[in-house]
Amino acid sequence: LRGNTYELQKPLGEGAYGVVYRALMLESPPDAPEYRAIKVVRKHIPGRPDSYARLKREMELHRAVSAHPGVVTLHDAAESDEFVFMVLEYCDGGDLFDKIIEDGMFDGNDELIKKVFIKILDAVEYCHESGVFHRDLKPENILCNKDGSEVRLADFGLATNQTRSVSHGCGTEFYISPECVGKLYSYAPYHTAPADIWSLGVILINMISDCAPWSRPTLRDAGFCGFLEDPFFFYRAIPGVSRAAADLFDRIFHTNPLARLSIPEIREAVLQIDTFFKEP
């Protein structure tokens, strides 16, 4: 691969149709080894005739934003008869979900929440300005260094370059927007940028409270129904959230996608908040 040889080492993650490995760059010096993450994915998936086209689209869109420091670098790609190999920047600290839930890294830490969340905003804003809309923003798709202070946006498998979409159901249930689910909106075409904004709001709630406000934004979900019915939902229902943070969530989680805050507006509001946590 571009003159480099890799030794696949331990698996970093596994999905239904692929595995991500840590890989040693054999040309790197023994006293300063360099690593990459290599994503190995099947080209052709039974029952999914468009699987190879989707992989090519993922690589194309990822490559378009790969230069940003807040996006995992796509260094190289190759393929065999059966597999596609993506050579990616290796992040040695796991993902943001681990930092939130297992390490409790953001508990009570306003400064770190601001620092990290603004870096996430910067990366997503760059993607949007480049015409790339992620559609699967969640902590598991944000990779970190060991101390959690540096983050990289990853996994463009559901990304699109369309500003409006009719592909409903794209995303992960805790983070997906209601218009992307589709039922409450009669499955009308939806704007992809505001759908990412919704997901960013859920990620910020995760970072502050270690929990999610609902399991899925549908009328069958008690948490989501509470949000629709209670104008003070975020302050009352999210553990330990300050009034200022709850007010920000009120402005992010509009059921009208076009009424949601923009990324610059969210950034400005986050910087103005003294604390995300309710005073004891």
CB neighbourhood size of 279 (10 A): 7
Q: Which of 89, 110, 135 is the last residue of a domain?
A: 89
**Joined tokens for residue 235:** 């302050």
The predicted pLDDT at position 53 comes to: 94
The predicted pLDDT at position 1 comes to: 61
Tell me how many domains the chain contains: 2
Q: Looking at the structure, do residues 16 and 100 belong to the same domain, yes or no?
A: no
The predicted pLDDT at position 31 comes to: 95
The predicted pLDDT at position 280 comes to: 74
Q: Rounded to whole angstroms, how far apart are CA atoms 116 and 79?
A: 35
pLDDT in tens, 175-197: 999 999 999 999 999 999 999 99
Q: Rounded to whole angstroms, how far apart are CA atoms 43 and 230?
A: 47
pTM of the model: 0.95
- Asked if 134 and 127 touch (Cβ cutoff 8 Å), the reply is yes
Instruction: Give a yes or no: residue 152 inside a domain.
Output: yes
Reported as a pLDDT band with limits 50, 70 and 90, residue 17 is: confident
Q: Which residues pair with 54 in a beta bridge?
A: none
Residue 108 has pLDDT above 90, yes or no: yes
Residue among 275, 279, 220 at smallest CA distance from 245 = 275
Residue among 222, 251, 238, 250 at smallest CA distance from 277 = 238
Range of the structural domain that residue 19 is part of: 6-89
Q: Looking at the structure, do residues 167 and 63 belong to the same domain, yes or no?
A: no
Instruction: Give a yes or no: residue 163 inside a domain.
Output: yes
Looking at residue 26, which CATH number applies to its domain?
3.30.200.20
The answer to whether residue 136 is catalytic is yes
The predicted pLDDT at position 192 comes to: 98
Q: Looking at the structure, do residues 84 and 102 belong to the same domain, yes or no?
A: no
Q: Which of 59, 74, 89 is the last residue of a domain?
A: 89
DSSP 6: E
Residue 16 has pLDDT above 80, yes or no: no
Q: What three-state secondary structure class fits 215?
A: coil
**Joined tokens for residue 224:** 């989501």
Q: Looking at the structure, do residues 145 and 263 belong to the same domain, yes or no?
A: yes
Q: Looking at the structure, do residues 29 and 153 belong to the same domain, yes or no?
A: no
Instruction: Give a yes or no: residue 1 inside a domain.
Output: no
Instruction: Give a yes or no: residue 278 inside a domain.
Output: no
**Joined tokens for residue 232:** 């003070």
Q: Rounded to whole angstroms, how far apart are CA atoms 147 and 27?
A: 28
The residue type of 36 is R
Mean pLDDT of 40-64: 93
Provide the residue count of the chain.
280
pLDDT in tens, 134-155: 999 999 999 999 888 899 999 9
Q: Looking at the structure, do residues 107 and 77 belong to the same domain, yes or no?
A: no
Reported as a pLDDT band with limits 50, 70 and 90, residue 15 is: confident
The predicted pLDDT at position 2 comes to: 61
The predicted pLDDT at position 3 comes to: 61
43 is in an annotated binding site: yes
Q: Rounded to whole angstroms, how far apart are CA atoms 120 and 45?
A: 32
Q: Looking at the structure, do residues 105 and 167 belong to the same domain, yes or no?
A: yes
Q: Looking at the structure, do residues 17 and 126 belong to the same domain, yes or no?
A: no
Q: Exposed, middle or buried: residue 97 (CB in 10 Å: 0-12, 13-18, 19+)? A: middle
Secondary structure E strands in the chain: 6-14, 18-25, 35-42, 74-79, 83-89, 142-144, 151-153, 164-165, 190-191
The predicted pLDDT at position 143 comes to: 97
Q: Rounded to whole angstroms, how far apart are CA atoms 247 and 234?
A: 8
Residue 13 has pLDDT above 70, yes or no: yes
The residue annotated as part of the active site, out of 136, 196, 230, 250, is 136
Q: Which of 59, 89, 119 is the last residue of a domain?
A: 89
Q: Looking at the structure, do residues 50 and 32 belong to the same domain, yes or no?
A: yes
Within 8 A by CB and 6+ apart from 105, the residues are: 99, 112, 148
